[in-house]
A and B are shown apart, each in its own frame.
Chain A
Amino acid sequence: MLIKAHHRGAERAELRARFASGSSVLMLAPRRIGKTWLLNKISEDLTLLGWLCIKIDVEGMRTENEFLRALCNEIEKTQALSARVKAHFFQRFKQLTTHVQDGNLYAAIGDIDPRDFLETLISSLNNEEQPTVILVDEVALFIHELAIEAPHQARSLLYHLRKMQQAFPRVRWFLTGSVGLDVVARRHNMLGALLGIDPYPLEPFTAAAAKSYLNELCANGEIGYPFSLNEDSFEHLALELGWLSPYYLRQIALQLRPTGTLADGQVHPLATIDDIERAFTQLLSPTQRLHFAAWEEHIDKNFNDIETRRLRAILDIASAEADGEIEATILTRLSISGEVLTTRVLRTLLSSLEIDGFLQKIVGRWCFRSGLLRRYWKEYMAYD
């Protein structure tokens, strides 16, 4: 069956190959780019190939035990697997048979050291006939939250995961995160734990994938006013959007009211450049701010006060013009506003913004990756 351009065929094939070769993968990408969708697709793909897939979302979790409960919950869903895992536990923790015999695996979590528990769990999965992949969505956020409460614990958990990767090769890990896990790891001195996990950056759609996606939306009736795009109008949309994230493509599509004519061979009327502009304006109206809240939240939640203030200040500066500013200009404007930074500190902050999808560097100039986000930021966030 031909995979559509926007169904991430190449990415899925590559990830399948990596898992098949024994690797574990850390997929980092900004929000709204389709990580979770891809994670789910990988789970489906591998299940079809006979793998055992255990999928959990750890966003919002703050403790190791919560993490373990989520894992156990997933395992419990497959009865046969659950039985085997319990047997394994029974063998290992004879004195705690009460919970296990009662069929309550995760009730035993509090009684057993979390590391031992996790290791036993993974060991049992390693013994399964099928290879296993554990898919953990938003792991960076979890580690970050855990590190705030108990940095040692977060660090040792990451290192423990690494040890288990090495000790139990039939269990792979697919970790995703929208915050840079390497940034979190560096902040909390855990960089070494990431050695051995393949980083896999997920990019936005290509032009072809974006077109394919929009076509599907229009064809499936998901859009109230389906439309078609010619080269000029698509180019304008792509330029203004900047960053072809599926989420924002969909939002634009929902706002579009095509006024163009029906071209030969097309089913839907053409969306003109003006139509696209109006859609953007609409998407940037106050009632639609919720679509961008995650970006603001990202800065507020994942950095401390000083970093937050500085990052916002940098984004304020970069949002002023589409072509952004050079480093020296950013430094100068920051110092004028009272934020006197060294070059090194500025570059660290710019790097964070680049990794998290806010900015990109083109010919020495730091500019917003997404024109839409830039306009939003300029409109609602930037101080004059």
Chain B
Amino acid sequence: MTRAPGFSIYNQDRLDDIDFVANFVARNKQAETLLNGLRNIAEGGPVEHQILIGARGMGKTSLLRRLAIGITGDPDLNAAYIPLRFREEQYNIISLDVFWRNCGESLAEYCEQQGNQALADQLDLAIETPEWRDDAKARDAFLAACHEAGGRPILLLDNLDLILAGIKREGSWSLRNALQKSDGPIVIGAATQLLSEGADRDAPFYEFFNPHILEPLSESELLACLNALATKRGIPGARVKVILAKEPARVRALYVLTGGNPRILTLIYGLLEQADSETIFADLETLLDQVTPFYKARVEEYQTPLQRAVIDGIALNWDPITSGVLSQQTGVEATTLSPQLIRLKRDGLVEEVETSGTRAGYQLSERFLNIWYLMRHGTRKTKQRLRWFTLFLTKLFSAEDIQRMAGDARSGKSSSHPFYREALYEAYDLLNVSCMDSSDTDDLNHQFGSPTLAPSSSSGESIDIGNSTATKRLKMIEVKNGRLLKASKYSDVLKLEAVAFEPSLSDPVHQNLVARLKNGRGIALNHLNRPEEAILVFDEVLEHVSGSAILNLQEREVAALVNKAEALFKLGRWQDAVAVYEDIVARFSMSDSPSVLTMLIGALFEKGRKLRKLKKTREAIAAFDQVVEHSGTNDKGPTREIVALALVNKALMLSDLNHPRDVIAVCDEIVSRFAASGASFLQVRVAWAFNQKGRALRKLRGLREAVASFDQVLERFGAKSGLALNEEVAWALVNRVSTLIDLDLREDAIANCREIVSRFGASDVLPLQSRVAWALNEEGRQLQRLGRHEVAIPAFDQVLQRFGTSEGESLRIEISIALINKALSLVDLNRTGEATTVFDDVVSRFEASDVPFLQGQVAWALTEKGRGFKRLKRPEEAIAIFDQVLDRFGESDALEPSRAVAAAVVDRASCLVDIGEVDEALCSLRAEARKERSAKGIKSAAHKRRMALLEFSIGWILFCYLYDIPGAAAAFSEAAALEKEFGKDSVPASANLCWVLLASSDLAAAKEVFARLDEFTGVGRRLWDAGFEIVADNLEASLAHLDAVLHVGLEDEGFEYFEALLWYLRIAAERGYGERVIAWFVATGNADRYAPVYGALVAHVRGARLLLDLNPEVRGVARPLYSRLSAGAGLQEAEGEGRKRKYRSKR
């Protein structure tokens, strides 16, 4: 799109074809149907002549032009047909020959446009000849000219009824004959009313034209058209798309006021694109200004005072008015009014409608004309009525667009589900911890070698045993033993003994070597899962070397004991293993030998590790403390590293226990001990300690101190190389980002994210790549929070570009997060089609994965896709998508998919309610709640949250749609109790429970529940006060509170109370105060200010038929309110009768 198309409201011919087609959005379906009809005729199908019927502004003339463009733009149609357009009003047609001359002129114009100037000139001359004054000759001449021009004529005739009236009956018969010829013209006409000739059996055109009635646009059609216009407009349209996504209330209100008139559609679009109005009323004023010339002319067609009085009386009443009331108002006798009303009905200005009484009512047919009339000619009071109505629409639709179901009750405008966000954070925590764990082991094994390995002959001290052949042989075997153990070739180690050595452990010369070999054998047996045999071997060694004063043998003793403990752990005899370690400590803690001490410390560390794995937290921490204690001031070599690791493990365990202050203390100790070291292993631990300290400070909400701690990592190690240190630096930046977010310094957080990318973006190492991907995702997320979706999307795209083909699990997780977030941004920008494509991409990429998180992503992608359809008010399609979620993941026990399933169940229920399938909605929610309740095991917070959401939703349906008070009370009570359990405030559930208790007249219980809700002051408080008073039968006091509420409006403190107002009114009516409240509404003027509510209340108290007495704009809004007020008295019909369908239960 190189330039944005312009607009023209009244004169479509001012637009060129390109602009015209770009703006043509409302009647595309009809255009396609008609063009297909022409294709069918061209292929030999039967000829059908068409007529478009529609009131002014419905798009007839535009559709005719669109057909002309469609014919010339399609090669096949262009080869077969010549589309001929005419002036909109062919007033000159008084006979058939004139008609054919007009056709000739139109053909000449067409030829000129097509470059056939010769034929155009020829026609111009011919039309003036006498031949063209004879209708038969003119007809033949015209058809011959069409033949010469190379096509069959399509006559696009606006105001066809005027033309036929002009040519009269005789001409009509001739015309019919011409149209019935095999090569005759094809007519596609237009008229504001059905042709009377079409219904007269004796008339030439009886049942001749196939009518297409152009009805006003529905709300969803209007939305689709506005979206289409915005897309075609390119960059200027982007703003409108955002408005359509973010301010649906505004668009809905404009629809109610303008009634789906396509002519007004372009005005509304122009308003959204150009105007920066603050209120819908301001929008309305702008629209009305633009239609004034058009409507003014329309009304001024009626020039007599009587006609004007009738129109005035009907329009200013706004509601349907009977002839009797009109007569009273105008002072004109009903018998005199009657012919005027008939004339106005025939003209289509006025229509007759049903009222609650026996007499019909009259109202203006074009509803926006009525609105215009009210504003331009109404009294102050009538204008005020309209102003209040538009205000009401804003609040009502805003309230309805906020999700009423729990989970998003307060912040329905968030673009990503709260469950989803929490899952991400938990997932990141998990990734972080598990990463640390594995690196400990790797580093330990790498740097120190497993303490379970006996020191090889290349380290440690040994007795000089001389150089005999046996000795040499033993040494060789021992060396081989060591190598095989290092290579983990345990079976080969066992085979070595067969090669063996004759000296036994009793041989004092070779005792050390033999003990070493025996220990090696024991280690091999352990690794081969033969711990009982291993213990026997170790016991054999101990039997011979225990208590020896020889250093080598002491080392063998320690090794045997340590490995024996390992074997005992394998057998599950952890207490026996601990006893062995205690024995080591007891025996060797005072040793002078550094190697023995080193082995001791290694043994204690191993003890701590094993106990940690067994979740013996206290014992493990004690073991790590022993490591530190027995290391004393030994800060050299492997000892330091073991001590560092022991402190790291201790910190991790304290973090698991949620003792952040203790964690900080341990981290400080790591830093103080090892900060000065240049050894990379220790530097990594120091960096880790700063990171861990920062995380602990975050937990204690010492956010700035946390940042300072992370900064230490960057300052000290930011320029260092080495993978492990780089990872710590990356973690520091990641943690810093999270902390900045906590501090609401999002721009700084974004900058940090970019730093991660710039530092590590070129890395090909998986852990660093994961951080880079995370950073890009986080940058995108923060941009989303700042509402900068257009910029967020490229950040997510980078994740895909950089890592889209990666197979690493952590990267695939980040890819899935990027895709979901990108799609959510597209949704926010109202680029729903693209969002759907991205959601589908998530599904196709990850549906085969067995990683629970990725399965959850697939589930969320489908759920969000379904929500997209729900937002577009396409509930059946939404339900179909939610059904997919349930089919695929309904039986899953994994955390993430089950969260998405719960959300899908709730949203599916909401869609079912929208189409009137309330019972089915309830069944599905109950089935899901039963499934959750029966899940085995300890219930996590997430599980309880899902249960609370389900119970809230059940309560909502029972109360709002079925008025099942006991059921609703039970459900809301359950929801409130669950919400309290996991720490979330239970305001929505308890608040609704309070109303349910009032509905059951249990005032005391209601007050008790309300007493626990201390955060309501203004509107909310007063509405409850009104409720308490009405249940206590203090009507006057109750109405005083209600007056205060309605005076202020129904939104306060971030809550909206619209539903509560309906509940209050229902309770009042049930207690017999219906008529008095109605009278109060009228007396206080609230009947006008809250006209739809008042209308619904009257219908509820006096009968549904009273809705007919409201004007269509107010009635359309009042009807669903009435349905909610009367819920439970019987099943209510769905809005949109034709869509009812039975949905099978998914459980």
Contact = CB atoms under 8 A, between A and B. Distances in A.
Interface stretch (B534-542, B943-951, B1126-1134): B1126-1134
Nearest to A155: B1130
Nearest to B206: A329
Contact of B348 (A321, A325, A340): A340
A189 B194 contact: no
Given A306-B354, A342-B215, A329 B1130 contact: no
Contacts of B215: 342-343
Interface in A125-158: 151-152, 155-156, 158
B198 A305 contact: no
Contact of B1132 (A189, A330, A331, A343): A189
A159 B345 contact: no
A188 B1104 contact: yes
A338 B345 contact: yes
B1104 A189 contact: yes
A307 B207 CA distance: 26
B946 to A, nearest CB: 31
Interface in B1045-1061: none
Interface in B1079-1131: 1103-1105, 1126, 1129-1131
B1130 A338 contact: no
A18 interface: no
A331 B1133 contact: no
Interface stretch (A1-9, A40-48, A190-198, A212-220): A190-198
A288 B201 CA distance: 31
A338 B1104 contact: no
B615 interface: no
Interface in A17-71: none
B1136 to A, nearest CB: 12
B359 interface: yes
A343 to B, nearest CB: 6
A332 B352 contact: no
Given A304-B354, A338-B346, A189 B195 contact: no
A315 B207 CA distance: 19
A336 B200 CA distance: 11
Nearest to A159: B1130
A83 B348 CA distance: 67
Contacts of B359: 305
B299 interface: no
Interface string B350-392: 0111100011100001000000000000000000000000000
The residue in A192, A193, A330 that gathers the most chain B C-beta atoms within 10 A of its C-beta is A192
B1132 A332 contact: no
Contact of A329 (B193, B199, B342): B199
A376 to B, nearest CB: 21
A268 interface: no
A192 B1130 contact: yes
Given A188-B1104, A306-B360, A332 B1133 contact: no
B244 to A, nearest CB: 28
A361 interface: no
A336 B196 contact: yes
Contacts of A333: 199
B412 interface: no
B194 A331 contact: yes
A151 B1122 CA distance: 14
Contacts of B342: 338
B211 interface: yes
B1129 A335 contact: no
B126 interface: no
Contacts of A306: 352-354, 360
The residue in B194, B342, B1104, B1132 that gathers the most chain A C-beta atoms within 10 A of its C-beta is B194
A332 B1129 contact: no
B213 interface: yes
Interface string A329-362: 1111101101110110000000000000000000
B1131 A191 contact: yes
Contact of B1133 (A151, A191, A305, A328): A191
Contacts of A189: 1104, 1126, 1130, 1132-1133
A149 to B, nearest CB: 10
Contacts of A326: 207
A155 B345 CA distance: 36
Interface residues of A, number: 35
B358 A151 contact: no
A336 B199 contact: yes
Given A155-B1129, A340-B348, A332 B198 contact: yes
Contacts of B201: 320-321
B265 to A, nearest CB: 20
B345 A340 contact: yes
Contacts of B213: 342-343
A216 B206 CA distance: 47
Contact of B196 (A304, A332, A338): A332
Contacts of A328: 194, 198-199, 207, 211
The residue in A155, A304, A326, A330 that gathers the most chain B C-beta atoms within 10 A of its C-beta is A304
Contacts of B1131: 191-193, 195
A315 B353 CA distance: 20
B195 A151 contact: no
B1129 A152 contact: yes
A202 B494 CA distance: 94
Contact of A305 (B348, B351, B358, B1129): B358
A190 B1130 contact: yes
A186 interface: yes
B1070 to A, nearest CB: 11
A152 B194 CA distance: 41
Given A191-B1133, A193-B1130, A329 B346 contact: no
The residue in A193, A321, A331 that gathers the most chain B C-beta atoms within 10 A of its C-beta is A331
Nearest to B353: A306
Contacts of A329: 198-199, 206-207
The residue in B206, B211, B1126 that gathers the most chain A C-beta atoms within 10 A of its C-beta is B211
Contacts of A192: 1130-1132
Nearest to A333: B199
Nearest to A309: B360
Contacts of A325: 199
Contacts of B193: 332, 335
A192 B215 CA distance: 30
Contacts of B196: 332, 336
Interface in B511-562: none
A329 B346 CA distance: 16
The residue in A192, A195, A338, A340 that gathers the most chain B C-beta atoms within 10 A of its C-beta is A340
Interface string B962-987: 00000000000000000000000000
Contact of A151 (B194, B206, B1104): B1104
Interface in A295-320: 304-307, 320
A177 B242 CA distance: 55
B651 to A, nearest CB: 64
A306 B207 CA distance: 27
Contacts of A190: 1130
A325 B1133 CA distance: 32
Nearest to A150: B1103
Which 3 A-B residue pairs are closest in the complex by CB-CB distance?
A192-B1131, A332-B199, A332-B194
Given A304-B354, A332-B198, 11 more contacts: A159-B1129, A159-B1130, A305-B359, A328-B198, A329-B198, A329-B206, A331-B194, A335-B193, A340-B352, A340-B365, A342-B213
Interface of A: 151-152, 155-156, 158-159, 186, 188-193, 195, 304-307, 320-321, 325-326, 328-333, 335-336, 338-340, 342-343
10 contacts: A156-B1130, A191-B1133, A193-B1131, A304-B358, A306-B352, A331-B211, A332-B195, A335-B193, A335-B346, A340-B346
Interface of B: 193-196, 198-199, 201, 206-207, 211, 213, 215, 342, 345-346, 348, 351-354, 358-360, 365, 1103-1105, 1126, 1129-1133
